Amino acid sequence: MDRSDIAKLAELARIEVSEATVDEVAKSITDVLALVDQLQAADTEGVAPMAHPLDATQRLRADQVSEDNRREQFQTQAPAAEQGLYLVPKVID
Amino acid sequence: MMEWETVIGLEVHVQLATKTKIFSGASTAFGAAPNTQACAIDLAMPGTLPVPNEQAFRYAVMFGLAIDAEIGKCSVFERKNYFYPDLPKGYQTTQLDAPIVGPGHVEIQLADGSTKSIRIHHAHLEEDAGKSLHEDFHGMSGIDLNRAGTPLIEIVSEPDMRSSEEAVAFARKLHSIVTSLGICDGEMSQGSMRFDVNVSVRLKGTEELGTRTETKNLNSFKFMEDAIKLEVERQIDLIEEGGEVVQETRLYNGETKTARSMRSKEEANDYRYFPCPDLLPVELDDDYIDAIRQQLPELPDARQARFVEQHGLSDYDAGMLAADAATAQFFETATEQCGDAKLAANWVMGEVSAHLNNEEKGIKDSPVTALQLAGLIARIKDNTISNKIAKQVFEAMWNGEGDADAIIEAKGLKQMSDTGELEKIVDEVIAGNPAMVEDWLASDEKKRKKKMGGFMGPIMKATKGQANPGMVNQILSKKLNDML
C-alpha cells in the first residue's frame, strides 16, 4: 500500500487521514494484507466458496407490518429535523 | 454519409408490491407523512439486524418463472458501499454474484408485427433508498426515509435493443408482465418502475460496441424515448465532429428536454462489494419454486392469444387489451355482460382509453365501470340508440349522470324506430328538396348510392339524430326507387 492507495481508500470511506499518519496507516494496512495473503495461500481446490462463516440458511419473515410509527422518538436523536424530515448538509448530484 | 447503429441495454428497477420492507416490518404504503414508515432497521440504528421478507422472494421468483429464467436456489446478499444521505447504512444491501433470477428472455412485438427476443442478463433483489428533498431548508437538504428498504428487483437486460422504439416496447412489456403477475402496482408516476438506459452507437456492420453512457432514473416511457433519442443524436454529432464519447452517467430532465453529465468514469465509485455478514444465504427448494409455478397468473402473451381465440379479436386489438391486467379485466367483464366482444373492444380502446388519457387516469379510476359500459353497449345492440347517440350517452355517464338506461330515458335519446313516423319525415325531406331528388334521378346507379347519403343529413336534423339509420336507409331507398 502506498500513499496514493491510502488517499483513495480514505476518500471512499470518507475518513480523514492526516498527512502525519499516512505512512503509519499504510504500514498497518499492509500488515493486515499480509494476513490475507497467508489465508489466500491455503489450497482451496475443490472447496465451494462460502458466503457466510455459519453453516446455516436464512430464515424468512412473513409480509406483515410489525413496526409502528416512532418518528418523534427517533428524531430526538437527530441533529436537525423539520416538518418530519431529517436535515443534512445540502447534497447536490 | 455514415450510417450508425444504436445499441441499448436497460436496467429496470421494479418496486415490489409487498406490504412491508425487504428487511423490516415497516409499511411500504405510498404517500405517508415523511419518516413515519422508517423504523429502526431502515434507519440503520446500531444493534438492529435485517430479516428478509418471504413475499419479496416469492415475487422475484414469479418474475423469474415468467421470463423463463433459472431461479437462484441459493441467493446471497452483498453490501454495495457508498455514501449518500438517503442511504443511512452507508451501503445498499443487494445481490451480485448469486442473484435470485438468472438469464431469461422477454419477447417484444415490433411496429411491423414481427417479434424480437430480448435477453435478460439477470434480475436481483435489493433495497430502495430514501428520498432527498433539495428544497431549501436553511441551506440544508431534507431526508425522507419512508422509501428506504422498499423491496426492488433490478432487471438487467443484454444490449439487445437497436432503437428507442424497441427499448420502449421492451419497457412496456416488462410493465405488462409485472402488473399481470401482480408483483408491482406499475404506478410510474409514483416511481414504482424506473429505468436506467445504457446507450452507445457504432458504425453499421461493425461488431465492436461503442463507448456507452448511462442515463439514470427515467420514470416514464415518454421520457425514456426522448432521452434515448437525444443521447443518440449527441453521440453521433460528437463522433462526426471528431470527438469521442466519454463513459459517464447522465441525468435527463423531462421538463426542459435536456441532459447533463452527472459523473464520469474517473470519478466513478468503487463500491467494494462484499457478502453481507448480517444475512445468511437464502435457500429455496424445488417444491417452493414449483408451488409458485403452479399458481402463476395468466401472462400477457397467453392472454393475447386467448383473446384472439375466445373473443375473435384481431392480433392487434388483443395485444392492446391484454397488455395491462386491469384493462384486460375491464374488457372481459364488459364482454361477459353485453355479449359482444368486438363492440366492447372498440369501446374500451376508443372512448374509454381516450377519456382516461385525457384526464391522465388509470382504468381502475374510470368513472364509467365495465358494467356501465356493458349496459350502454346492450342498448346499441338492441337498436335503442345509434353509435353516435351512444357517444353522447357515454359522455353523460362519464360525468356521473347515471347508467345508460337512465340517461337515455331522461334525455329522450331513444332511437326513432316507428315506421310510420319515419316515413312521414322521409316524405317531408323528399318534398322539401326537389333539386336533390332531380339530381339523384339523373345520376347513374353507382352515383345514386352515394348521393342517397345527402338526404341523411336533413332527416337526422329533423329527428335530432335519433332516427334509426338502418330503417331510414330502407325507407328512403324504397321511396326514391319508386320514383324512377
Number of domains in chain B: 3
Q: What is the pLDDT of residue B464?
A: 81
Inter-chain CB proximity A60 and B282 less than 8 Å: yes
Query: Within 10 A of B228 (CB to CB), how many other CB atoms are there?
Result: 26
| CA-angle at B276, arms to B195 and B22, nearest 5° | 50
CB B53 within 8 A of CB B20: yes
Inter-chain CB proximity B137 and A87 less than 8 Å: yes
Same domain, yes or no, for B302 and B428? no
Last residue of a domain, one of B230, B258, B289: B289
* Secondary structure string (H, E, C) spanning chain B: CCCEEEEEEEEEEEECCCCECCCCCCECCCCCCCCCCCCCCCCCCCCCCCCCEHHHHHHHHHHHHHCCCCECCEECCEEEECCCCCCCCCEEEECCCCCCECCEEEEEECCCCCEEEEEEEEEEEEECCCEEEEEEECCEEEEECCCCCCEEEEEEECCCECCHHHHHHHHHHHHHHHHHHCCCCCCHHHCCEEEEEEEEEEECCCCCCCCCEEEEEECCHHHHHHHHHHHHHHHHHHHHCCCCCCCEEEEEECCCCEEEEEEEHHHCCCCCCEECCCCCCEECCHHHHHHHHHCCCCCHHHHHHHHHHHHCCCHHHHHHHHCCHHHHHHHHHHHHHHCCHHHHHHHHHHHHHHHHHHCCCCHHHCCCCHHHHHHHHHHHHCCCCCHHHHHHHHHHHHCCCCCHHHHHHHHCCCCECCHHHHHHHHHHHHHHCHHHHHHHHHCCHHHHHHHHHHHHHHHHHHCCCCECHHHHHHHHHHHHHHCC
Per-residue pLDDT tens for A2-42? 888 898 889 888 899 999 999 999 999 999 999 999 999 99
Inter-chain CB proximity B275 and A14 less than 8 Å: no
Q: What is the pLDDT of residue B465?
A: 80
Question: Chain A residue with minimal CA distance to B137?
Answer: A87
Q: What is the pLDDT of residue B289?
A: 98
User: Strands across the sheet with B91-94, in order?
Assistant: B91-94, B78-81, B274-275
How many beta-carbon pairs below 8 A join chains A and B?
124
Residue B53: φ, ψ to 5°:
-90, 120
Instruction: Find the mean pLDDT for residues B408-428.
Output: 84
Burial call B67-82: b when 16+ CB within 10 Å, e when fewer: bebebbeebbbbbbbe
CB B437 within 8 A of CB B445: no
Distance separating the N- and C-terminal Cα atoms of chain A: 31
Q: What is the pLDDT of residue B413?
A: 82
Inter-chain CB proximity A12 and B270 less than 8 Å: yes
| B466–chain A nearest CA distance, Å | 57
Q: Hey, of A15, A69, A72, which one would you mutate to test binding to chain B, going by the most B CBs within 10 A of its CB?
A: A69
Residue A85 has its nearest CB partner, among B57, B81, B142, at B142
| B163–chain A nearest CA distance, Å | 29
CA distance B172 to B166: 10
Per-residue pLDDT tens for B49-68? 999 999 999 999 999 999 99
Residue B54 has its nearest CB partner, among A60, A85, A86, at A60
pTM over 0.90: no
Per-residue pLDDT tens for B246-300? 999 999 998 899 999 987 655 656 899 999 999 999 999 999 999 999 999 999 9
CA distance B31 to B33: 7
Host domain of residue B461: 419-482
Same domain, yes or no, for B249 and B385? no
Q: What is the pLDDT of residue A8?
A: 87
Last residue of a domain, one of B243, B263, B289: B289
Residue B190 is placed in which grid cell?
A: 409514483
Inter-chain CB proximity B270 and A80 less than 8 Å: no
Interface confidence, given as ipTM, is: 0.90
Interface contact A80, partner B, CB < 8 A: yes
Same domain, yes or no, for B350 and B463? no
**Least confident range of B323-332, B410-419, B423-432:** B410-419
Same domain, yes or no, for B305 and B432? no
Same domain, yes or no, for B185 and B83? yes
Inter-chain CB proximity A86 and B52 less than 8 Å: no
Helix (H, G, I), strand (E, B) or coil at A9: helix
Same domain, yes or no, for B115 and B226? yes
Percent pLDDT > 90 in chain B is 74
Residue A85 has its nearest CB partner, among B35, B51, B270, at B35
Same domain, yes or no, for B387 and B465? no
Q: What is the pLDDT of residue A59?
A: 95
- Rounded to the nearest integer, the mean pLDDT of chain B is 93
Per-residue pLDDT tens for B80-133? 999 899 999 999 999 999 999 999 999 999 988 899 999 999 999 999 999 998
Q: What is the pLDDT of residue B361?
A: 87
Q: Is the pLDDT reported for residue B213 higher than 90?
A: yes
Q: Is the pLDDT reported for residue B40 higher than 80?
A: yes
CATH number of A1-43: 1.10.20.60
**Least confident range of A33-42, B22-31, B310-319, B407-416:** B407-416
CA distance B71 to B104: 10
CA distance B183 to B19: 11
Instruction: Find the mean pLDDT for residues B427-445.
Output: 88
Q: What is the pLDDT of residue B143?
A: 96
Instruction: Find the mean pLDDT for residues B313-332.
Output: 93
Window A:39-78, CB contacts with B under 8 Å? 51-52, 54, 56-67, 69-71, 74-75
**Burial of residue B477, with CB atoms counted within 10 A of its CB: 0-12 exposed, 13-18 middle, 19 or more buried:** middle
CA distance A44 to A41: 9
Same domain, yes or no, for B284 and B307? no
Indicate the Cα dihedral angle B241, B242, B244, B249, nearest 10°. Answer: -10
Inter-chain CB proximity A12 and B137 less than 8 Å: no
Percent pLDDT > 70 in chain B is 99
Residue B275 has its nearest CB partner, among A14, A52, A85, at A52
CA distance B109 to B383: 38
Q: Is the pLDDT reported for residue B48 higher than 70?
A: yes
Residue B53 has its nearest CB partner, among A12, A63, A93, at A63
Residue A67 has its nearest CB partner, among B39, B141, B270, at B39
Same domain, yes or no, for B439 and B403? no
CA distance B300 to B316: 13
Q: Is the pLDDT reported for residue B343 higher than 90?
A: yes
Last residue of a domain, one of B289, B314, B346: B289
